[in-house]
Each structure stands twice: as C-alpha cells, then as structure tokens.
Structure 1
Amino acid sequence: MKSATPPNEHLPQCVAPEHEFTMRFTSTPRGARLARRLVSHRLDDWGHPYTTPVNETLTLITAELSANAVRHGHVPGRDFHVQLTLAEGILRIEVTDTRAEKQPSPTPLPPDSLSESGRGLHLVAALADDWGITPRPAAPGKTVWAQLRVPAGGQLVCL
C-alpha cells in the first residue's frame, strides 16, 4: 500500500469528476466478472480503448479487487459496490464490500510459491500508482481502492 488516502479525498472540494460510474453487483463470481467487463466498457466509452494499457491495467485491477470482494468480503444477501471516477487525470477504482472483520494486509505477504491464489494485491500494488484500504464510515465493511494517472482530458470547473 502506498498511502492511506480515504475514498475520493484526492479530489479537492471544488473539483467535479469528469466521469463517474457506480454500480452494485451480486457477491458472486458472475458479479465480479460483470464488474470487470462494465469497467472496461466504461473506460472505452471515456476514450481509453480496450487494447490500451490504461484500459487493460485498470480492468485487471478491477478483476482482482472484485474477486477479493467476492471471495473474502462476501456476506450472504449483500452485494459489493464498484465506483470508477476520472478527475484531474486520475482514474480511481473503488470496490466496497460489507465484511469488516476480513481486512487485507496493507503490505501483502509474499504468496506461497506453490499456492494457486494470493497474488491479487501484489498485482494491484505493482500496477497501480497508488492504492489503499479504508473502512466504511457509516456501515460495516471496507473499501479497497486503486488509482492510475492518465493524461487529463480537459479543464475542470469548480462548482
């Protein structure tokens, strides 16, 4: 983990996101797959085509965070939430689940070389410019987020 910035606190109060996508998904492998696909489609719509490094990188990060939300953050009957934001040249993905007692390590432990899992947060840490974990302030659970710097698409206006 590179910092402990809470969700969306990287944005000054007067900065409005250029683009924002948010959706809830069932806490199942199908929900994780759909989250990954919709983030990739949204990035394509926002001018980052499917085969570009930005789209491929953020799609992989989304896949890892969504899979972790399903595998480690699943609470029966509760969904996980994905939010994708583009503001001031920063793409930020946030994946929120409702399981507070299962916190990922801010410094991922090295995976067992024979294990078939346990590498997701290592990938996130390697690919993202910044990432972190924050508790949900008004409900049980946590948000795991990652962000990438991309060329800014235009000027943002304070509201």
Structure 2
Amino acid sequence: MPGIEIARAVYDGFAGTLEQRVADFAVALEAHRTSVGLPAPVEAPLVEAIARAGGMDEVTIVDPPAPPTPPDPSPAAPPLIPKLVVVERVGIAGKLRDARAALKIGRPDAELSDAELLLRERWEAASTIAQDDVQVRGFLAALGLDPDAILAA
C-alpha cells in the first residue's frame, strides 16, 4: 500500500510537474551520495518526502469526499379535506343524523365520557381532516361508510 497520501488539490497545485520534480530530485540525491563538500540538493518538502519514500509509486492521490447526499425529502403530508366536504358527503350518504348521534352532538358534556367528549370537540373544532386520520376513518367505517370515498381528495 502506498505510504504517502496527498490531496488532489495539492497534487493539482503542482500543475503536472510533481512526477518530474520527484524524479529529478531522486537523481540529484543519488548524485549527491558520491559528492564531497557539496551541499545536499533541496526541493519542496513534499517532493523531498516522496523521493525519500521511494518515488511516486509510494503516493496515493486522495480525491475530496463527495458532498453528502441530501436526505430524502420527508414524505408529503396526506391531503387535507375541508370538513364541510366530509359533512356533505356523509349527508348525501344519508348518515348525517347517525353521525351526529354517534358524536352525541347536543348532549350535555357531563353525560359524555372523556373519550366521547374529546371526539366531539375534535370534530367540532376541525376545519380540515387529514385523509389518513385513523380516528375519523374508524368513525366513518363504524357508520357503515367507505372512508376512502368520503375522504377522497
């Protein structure tokens, strides 16, 4: 495995001259071994390190990491249906009175369980209904209605 890793940007910074500079420096080092009284050749620190490590065969050029993949967008929220549309569809199906009776609309709060009161309050407060609202889908099914048809966009 090559012993020196250099970033692609550093390699590119030598503008295509790194290999030749390393080779030339290696030759100069070899010639200096037999010289007497001459100063040692000098090169850029990276060139010297590569030459002393054995040349370009010991180099791995490392590309920058790929930019992170953006996360998948969150799934789209289910469409919201205006409650008025739902009420009209329940009425057209002939189940409006059954729906109001099941919701106990008009009955005093004290006569309702907490769950019944919560269901009624949610129904009365809502202006839109999500197509995947589990409670509403169960309520419509309990009325004998097809939740997919009533909550269709």
> What TM-score, normalized by structure 2, do the two folds share?
0.21
- Structure possessing the higher radius of gyration over alpha carbons: 2
Query: Where is the strand percentage greater, Structure 1 or Structure 2?
Result: 1
- Structure in which a larger fraction of residues adopt helix: 2
Which protein, 1 or 2, shows the higher relative CO under an 8 Å CA cutoff with sep ≥ 6?
Answer: 1
TM-score normalised to structure 1 length = 0.20
